[in-house]
Structure 1
Amino acid sequence: MKKSIFVLILLFGFTIQSTFATDGYFRHGYGIKYSALAGSGVAVSLSSLGAITNPASIIRTNNSLEINISVFSPNRDYTITGNPSGFPQTFGLTPGKIESDKNIFFFPTIGLKRGIADNMAIALSIYGNGGMNTDYPAKTFYDPSSPNTGVNIEQLFANLTYAIEVTKGHSIGVAGIFGWQRFAAKGLVAFTPFSSDPANLSGNSWSTATGFGFKVGYQGVLTDWLSIGAAYQSKINMSEFERYSGLFAEKGDFDVPANWTAGISISPDKDWTLLFDVKQILYSGVKSVSNPMLPNLQTSQLGKDDGAGFGWKDITAIKFGVMYKAIENYTLMAGYSYNENPIKESEVMFNILAPAVIQNHITAGVTRKISEDSDLTLAFMYALNNSVKGANPFEAPGQQSIEIAMRQWQFEIGYSFCLIK
């Protein structure tokens, strides 16, 4: 078993790639069954990977190992309308539409759960987050040192979870979270006059960071038809990206924001389950993400505590899911989620690099029980096209507009089997 887990961790490390996630830069759901339900399910126990959403959920799952592989395709672009004015002290962009390269990514998710007593269990979850990935084949900001413009961040997390059923039907859980991430940027030399550390602004090799956080959760079965659940994840305090200390606020700091989720599960009969979750992501707690571009770019240098950022605001997501046991050995799943847009019209300039404007997700999936100890799940997600349009803040009023847009789809396959009797 130990050898199998080691091989799986190595596999994960070799295949993780940067993706662009959907709730800002979080994935819309973690674990294939939760993904098929549009990320809802904090109140139900579906698999070992439920520990990512709610640490308390593993009490009511079997001892198992689950492996998910996802194919993710985000399409990102920006459109500049209007010619540069050429006026002094302005910074006009080249008109036209530019689409980001590299639109197919692969990433795995792995979960292992084991009961250690009648009312206690532990779990290990390994998963990736991505986001802020763009690679535009253009000198967007006229950088003479790079033919392309873009950023790339890759994140890997490992959660070690402990849960206990404190009384029949009611469990609590806690997870320690280790985070690893790396970042690279190119095509940003034009911002050198605004940087506190120009040598660590753009065009450097990968810079890595690590950090720790925690997650706590509760799950309660109130009646045979009603369950509730809630979870809170702390901010994951990461070390700084030293090679980009002249770009991100607080000398290259890029923490993972805190978030919370609460929801209910209703089962009107034995075949149907209806889910409703509310989630909030607190981007305002991370200065490199939430600091606005203006007036900060004029009042403080990039890399300083008040340096310009992406101007993201806190967002709330509402998630709906439905499960139906259609026939023996098959469970059908579907979901819809809507989240607020973290990017305001006034922040489109910097967010050419990170056009996280997706708001609507439609999902579906099916689980086939192969044997008493294993099942196979397929899931699909489609995120509807969305865009945000605003004025170029460095041009004459009404001279130029910037529109950033994104649409995406994801296909997943997952296999779960009993590893420990």
Structure 2
Amino acid sequence: MASRSYARLRLRLALTAAGLGTAVALSSSASATNGMAMAGYGARAGAMGGAGMAYDAGNSNVMNNPAAFGFREPGTVLGLGLTVLGPEVTAAHEASGAEARSEGDAYPSPSLSLIRTSPGGLTYGAAFLAQGGMGTEYGGETFLSRSGEPVRSEVSFGRLMLPLAYRVNDRVNVAVQLDYLVGNMDLQMDMGGAQVRGLMSGVGGSLSASPGLGAALDGFSAIDYARVDFSNGSDLTGEAQGGGLAGKIGLTLRLTPELTVGAAYHSESRMGDWSTGANGAELAFQGDMRGSTRSVALQGEVAVEDFEWPATYGVGIAYEPGDRLTLAADVKRIAWSEVLETLSLRFKASDSEANNLGPGRDFRGEEVDLALRQEWADQTVVSLGAQLRATAALTLRAGVNLADNPIPDEYLNPLFPAIIEDHYTAGLGYAFTERSRIGLAVTYAPEVEATNPRTGVTSRHSQLNGRANYVYRF
């Protein structure tokens, strides 16, 4: 009877975690660190420069290397976490001296996990967290706005992860994992007339329209701006949403009692197009037509095409010369070039009568394809970290995370300034009891700047981020 009651309790906890975790995945947003990826996952690995492939980094093993669960003693671990990313982003137009500061300076991302290890060495459970994203917010009075309306971006990826790890023997752990990704995007973007004409000519991307809208665009002798606008203003979801699957495999091998190596592969996601739904987006143009200012504003649906999370793979080592000191190093590769060659949007005007602007201007069902070249480079990330058990209750941690800016200057957009390079990390863990402990981490990323030579706009980006995790073992 007792074992059945305990099983029912575990099931109720898992179902509760699933419900809360879905909300977590939907509400998570983040500003870029290693490209769109966070520099570390969990307070333990986050304080050690993100290194976490070859030792037990806590429930965040689901993102680092699920095979590391094989190091655990039998039991169940409940984890609660909060990461707050604090980017400082500005954009400056060098020729005019105009400057805009992003008001998006705090992005909270909660996490929830419940992981059990059986006496036979099998580990399973569920975890939910934000994987990463990008976000900026500029006012309508800044030089980045041509319409007088705010311009902003918010992209988030959240994951529900179901790990299955097995301790083969005292030396080898293996794991497979199924992930479900949820993606959300808001975008309010103005493009000046020169950029619009350039896109129509294939400069920096492409812009093409179905016959009716194409004729309307050709009718402008000069274009002031074009605006793409889809945003629901919600802190929980974005106007455009998508979902799909990915997977992970992992391995750890203890070479000596002191030295362990680990390796993990995270597959590219399969999410398909993200959609706003009917009438969830607006596409607007303004310009000069036969000597007077004319504007077109259409309601419809935007599909964000083939926006996926990239494959990531890497190796790590952990050296533990005693029970007080751990030194860790990871090297991983993020395949951005496979998923961020372009940002492609397809707008389709709805059948609403509001899109019928009069004779010869019935735009219902008309389409526009917009592709902005990104050409992100693959990124190699080196993570180095150390932890020292100062007392029976207190553990101190520090590390560095080293990477290059993945975005070519000529395609840098101030709405997506994912140009951060190096990070410096520190943190601590404190055990209240054998069952209850907390982990804290802070990350500082020095300012990086890059200038788009085509637009003359310089983006500057630095970060100060914090993490807190609470763990209860039962």
TM-score (normalised: structure 2): 0.75
Cα distance, 1:185 vs. partner? Answer: 0.8
Q: Assess, with a 3 A threshold, how the Cα gap between structure 1 residues 283 and 184 changes in structure 2: closer, same or farther.
A: same
What is aligned with 1:90? Answer: none
2:68 pairs with 1:35: no
Asked if structure 2 preserves the Cα contact closer than 8 Å seen for 1:76 and 1:99, the reply is yes
What is aligned with 1:213? Answer: 246
Identity %: 23
Distance (whole Å) between structure 2 residues aligned to residue 303 and residue 279 of structure 1 = 35
> Any gaps of 5 or more consecutive residues in structure 2?
1-9, 201-206, 214-225, 232-238, 284-301, 345-366
Q: Which of 363, 369, 382 matches 1:318?
A: 382
Q: Which of 326, 332, 341 matches 1:290?
A: 341
Matches within 5 A, 1:51-90: 51-62=62-73, 63-83=76-96
Q: Assess, with a 3 A threshold, how the Cα gap between structure 1 residues 291 and 105 changes in structure 2: closer, same or farther.
A: closer
Q: Which of 337, 344, 348 matches 2:401?
A: 337
Asked if structure 1 preserves the Cα contact closer than 8 Å seen for 2:92 and 2:459, the reply is yes
Q: Assess, with a 3 A threshold, how the Cα gap between structure 1 residues 5 and 369 changes in structure 2: closer, same or farther.
A: same
What is aligned with 2:442? Answer: 380
Cα distance, 1:381 vs. partner? Answer: 1.1
Asked if structure 2 preserves the Cα contact closer than 8 Å seen for 1:376 and 1:414, the reply is yes
Distance (whole Å) between structure 2 residues aligned to residue 369 and residue 67 of structure 1 = 15
What is aligned with 2:104? Answer: 102
Whichever residue aligns with residue 460 of structure 2, its letter is A
2:460 pairs with 1:405: yes
Whichever residue aligns with residue 290 of structure 1, its letter is E
TM-score (normalised: structure 1): 0.84
Distance (whole Å) between structure 1 residues aligned to residue 94 and residue 317 of structure 2 = 46
What is aligned with 2:424? Answer: 362
Whichever residue aligns with residue 40 of structure 2, its letter is G
* Greater mean alpha carbon deviation, residues 273-282 or residues 1-10: 1-10
Distance (whole Å) between structure 2 residues aligned to residue 203 and residue 129 of structure 1 = 25
Distance (whole Å) between structure 2 residues aligned to residue 197 and residue 251 of structure 1 = 16
Matches within 5 A, 1:11-30: 11-14=20-23, 16-30=27-41
What is aligned with 1:271? Answer: 324
Distance (whole Å) between structure 2 residues aligned to residue 269 and residue 115 of structure 1 = 25
SS at match of 2:46: helix
What is aligned with 1:239? Answer: 272
Asked if structure 2 preserves the Cα contact closer than 8 Å seen for 1:45 and 1:58, the reply is yes
Output one character per residue of 1:210-235: Cα deviation in whole Å (capped at 9) or x when no partner: 11011111011111110000101110
Whichever residue aligns with residue 426 of structure 2, its letter is A
Asked if structure 1 preserves the Cα contact closer than 8 Å seen for 2:99 and 2:143, the reply is no
* Greater mean alpha carbon deviation, residues 223-232 or residues 52-61: 52-61
Whichever residue aligns with residue 69 of structure 2, its letter is I
Distance (whole Å) between structure 2 residues aligned to residue 343 and residue 358 of structure 1 = 10
Q: Assess, with a 3 A threshold, how the Cα gap between structure 1 residues 376 and 292 changes in structure 2: closer, same or farther.
A: closer
Whichever residue aligns with residue 61 of structure 1, its letter is R
Distance (whole Å) between structure 2 residues aligned to residue 311 and residue 384 of structure 1 = 24
* Greater mean alpha carbon deviation, residues 11-20 or residues 266-275: 11-20
2:265 pairs with 1:222: no
Distance (whole Å) between structure 1 residues aligned to residue 303 and residue 406 of structure 2 = 21
Q: CA RMSD in A?
A: 2.7
Asked if structure 2 preserves the Cα contact closer than 8 Å seen for 1:180 and 1:210, the reply is yes
Cα distance, 1:325 vs. partner? Answer: 0.9
What is aligned with 1:86? Answer: none
Q: Assess, with a 3 A threshold, how the Cα gap between structure 1 residues 274 and 197 changes in structure 2: closer, same or farther.
A: farther
Matches within 5 A, 1:131-210: 131-138=133-140, 140=143, 142-144=145-147, 147-188=149-190, 190=192, 194=200, 195-196=207-208, 202-205=228-231, 206-210=239-243
Whichever residue aligns with residue 121 of structure 1, its letter is T
Whichever residue aligns with residue 235 of structure 1, its letter is E
What is aligned with 2:57? Answer: 46
Whichever residue aligns with residue 230 of structure 2, its letter is N
Asked if structure 2 preserves the Cα contact closer than 8 Å seen for 1:65 and 1:112, the reply is yes
Cα distance, 1:155 vs. partner? Answer: 1.6
SS at match of 1:58: helix
Asked if structure 1 preserves the Cα contact closer than 8 Å seen for 2:229 and 2:282, the reply is no
Distance (whole Å) between structure 1 residues aligned to residue 460 and residue 182 of structure 2 = 28
Distance (whole Å) between structure 2 residues aligned to residue 158 and residue 165 of structure 1 = 23
